[in-house]
Structure 1
Amino acid sequence: MPQIVNRYSRGAGLLDQLACPEGAHRCNRLPAAPRLRDMTVVPYRAAPDASSWPHCDVALPGGVECRGRRVAPHTACLAHLSGTDRSAYLADLRPGADLDHRGTCFTEELLSELLTAHTEPSTLKPRLGQARFERATFRGDARFDLVEIDSDALFDGAKIAGDISFNQAEISGRALFRQVKIGGNAGFDRMNCLIASA
């Protein structure tokens, strides 16, 4: 049975379990602790194996396989779609749609384009359904500030070269950040979610 924690403790928990640069636990230097609704501490489980989704068919330098999830009906991930195919995919997205970009490599520009495609005209905030970013790589910052996620936000095994922020984000389901590696700061100021686990 998971333990229910009614008040988030800044001294221990989600932020302490994120992997920040060695010797620099900048995650704890946030201006205010996140307010999580009934944070649930769940038993540890490893991040999903990258073989559990259809991989991009693009070969990276050195012949290494790209592990980004294919964007149907294409055989490439979002990062490797041609300009025309990427533009068509982004144009078809609507606020509240599910995203599955497991294993995909994001630049800050690509993430911004993806979130802009999900922006709700009435609130001017990105609104996603389920957001799957397990084992994704973010080459710069990963900013999900003000985003509304109607289901789960899954980031297990993700790697963020820069900062990650979910400031004032609203997540209706689980927020899972197990085995996440962060090169910069982590910001979760005034983030609301049902369940958080790192």
Structure 2
Amino acid sequence: MGDKETVQLIKQMNLGSRQSFDQFYEAFIPFVFQIAYEILGDYTEAEDVSQDVFLEVLQKIDQYNPNKGSIKAWLAVKTKSRCLDRLRKKKPILVNRLEKIALGKEKGADLEFLEQIEKRIILDALNHLPPEQREAIIRSYFNGETHREIAGAMKKPLGSIKSLIRYGLNNLRKQKSIVHWTEPNGGDGK
């Protein structure tokens, strides 16, 4: 769909056209879903976020300003924001993502984006880990060192490094600061 067609759809959506919204949705749902899925790594969660984004678009399409960027950029910002909220509220997603990153299964732009989000969430919790677990996780997660490199630097067997990381991640799961940010109710006690 071209820019002119998109602008026309947005104008019609501003006038309350449900048909225009349906066309807009069909044109951009693959884009929004792809972003959500790459960030969350969970199909159902990505679908939920995508639906939330389009509900917000339906309610606030008048907030889109073509002078401030493309519709795709606007949708991407909304999607990433919703995903951040979801990561903060959903412990299993966050823990699974941390484990994938620690085990080297995430890469590229996904890793860079997730690092920005997750660093802030886990920095405080890391300070409460035993020093060797903290060092192994920092070297793996933050510095991107391989388990073999960490073993050499810490002068420990490879199996011990893997255990330190695994136990460290388990201890992070128990940290109140992680649980607070990742509880399904958002940690607000409701």
TM-score range relative to shorter protein: under 0.3
TM-score by length of structure 2 reads: 0.27
TM-score by length of structure 1 reads: 0.26
Larger Rg: 2
Which structure has greater strand proportion?
Answer: 1
Higher relative contact order (CA 8 A, sep 6+): 1
Which structure has greater helix proportion?
Answer: 2
